[in-house]
Structure 1
């Protein structure tokens, strides 16, 4: 389905599950799309309304013209909620999607029942920005093909491609399907990541979910974020890399469900 937002842009989305049930909203990472949630959404949709969508320049959502910020992506999430008639959601964001969740928790807290920051850091270090500059240069020169294999390799533990080559092939296809404009604009937004200094001002019940072997959002970083964030808890998935919902789907679902239900 397509949602037309107030500025006339469109976002591709899917919504499923009982109409009157509490809603879980899912936001994916850069160079992925809403299909990364297929397994998780299938599990959740028996008891929850599940809304997932393609971020700007990913999947079926156009990149639009010009640049955008992480705050703009948070505004997109609010606009989509308004369009489909949702007052509040449990927001679950993976990587870039988790950073979108941080923006929501800090600036749109009235729209959240809870928020899960999955494999998502809150600030951009010099090395982090440098890595994005290098990836941007490769994509501008050679398209998404230039980074696809390195990206997929970085996202998972070395054992996972042997264990589930079909999942790896599906993720690689998502990377290749991402528009260059969408990837580059998202990467530029990530270079400006600066939510850590504001975490102590959050009042939304929050979960920081880490993968034990995630190099992009390491457990030590997420534990530090959690200590700074009121009303938050920390969970870690063993032997799991950056795209935790794919590499450890059972552990991911158990952690998210346990968190959402703990105060129900």
Structure 2
């Protein structure tokens, strides 16, 4: 995998990678908080057979530069639009997990002509007070200690206990730890503040795009009931639940996740 860099209008350098069929339809993959474009290694294997795949590191994550906190969804969407313009992408399918899923929804709401289909995975559309408080606590811990202090507690929310305890998953979990620890502190805090500003729920009824919602049955951050309501509010949407998975459902149950995405996109792989 080779990556490239684009300089955004504010001078921040964004890391990205293009793979797949040169004449395929575009699909953009957007990562979650404290991960990077490696989050999508499994999905690229089948998507690249028939599509043109763009994955990128959100600002402050992976090899993308950070900027001072806070961030908001207008800014993250503007980053993605600038990247699309750089690559002359007029319109694309967008798939994201957690923060990335929220970004996919925000793109459909704020830049509807740039979006074809939306795949919003393990995400939510609003930020109630208990959800905001989680991020206040994490940011306080980040400042009092360091980013590494947040890694292992976060993994207990991202994955089910049996997955974490299975020795066969050690290499994959080490990659997740690597992604987490590659996140810039400003990037983590910037996105955490962005998540506190999440306010897309009232706009879901206006989405005209074909939309897929997916979540893990054990996801505490994006519970089944929350995502079911999002789907109920969204015209032309469908909702799938992945059993035996928590927040990063594509990593915990990659085969089931892949089957759901292939069926939605109507592709083989």
**Interval of TM-score (by shorter of Structure 1 and Structure 2):** over 0.9
- 3-state secondary structure, aligned to 2:59: coil
Inter-partner Cα distance in structure 2 for 1:200 and 1:104: 14
**Structure 1 segment 167-178 matched on structure 2, within 5 A:** 167-178=172-183
Correspondent of 1:227 among 211, 222, 232:
232
Can you give the 5+ residue segments of structure 1 that lack an aligned partner in the other structure? none
TM-score of the aligned structures, taking structure 1 as reference length: 0.96
TM superposition shift of 1:17: 0.6
Q: Which stretch shows the higher mean deviation, 58-67 or 149-158?
A: 58-67
- Tell me the residue number matched to 1:218: 223
Aligned residues: 262
Identify the residue that residue 182 of structure 1 maps to in structure 2. 187
2:196 alignment counterpart: 191
CA shift, 1:66, in A, is 4.5
SS of 1:147's equivalent in the other structure is helix
Corresponding residue number in structure 1 for 2:11: 8
Pick from 65, 79, 85 the counterpart of residue 82 of structure 1.
85
Partners of 2:68 and 2:190 within 8 A in 1: no
**TM-score if structure 2 supplies the norm length?**
0.95
Question: What root-mean-square deviation, in Å, do the aligned CA atoms of Structure 1 and Structure 2 show?
Answer: 1.2
Structure 2 CA distance for aligned equivalents of residues 240 and 64 of structure 1? 33
Q: Secondary structure at the match of 1:233?
A: strand
Q: Aligned equivalents of 2:263 and 2:155: distance in 1? A: 29
Structure 2 unpaired stretches of 5+: none
Aligned residue number for residue 23 of structure 1:
26
1:132 correspondence with 2:135: yes
Counterpart position of 1:35: 38
1:55 matched to which residue of 2? 58
The answer to whether the aligner puts 1:153 opposite 2:156 as a matched pair is yes
Conserved? CA contact 1:90–1:260, under 8 Å? no
* CA displacement, residues 135-176 of structure 1 (integer Å, 9 cap, x when unaligned): 010011111111110001110011112331211111112111
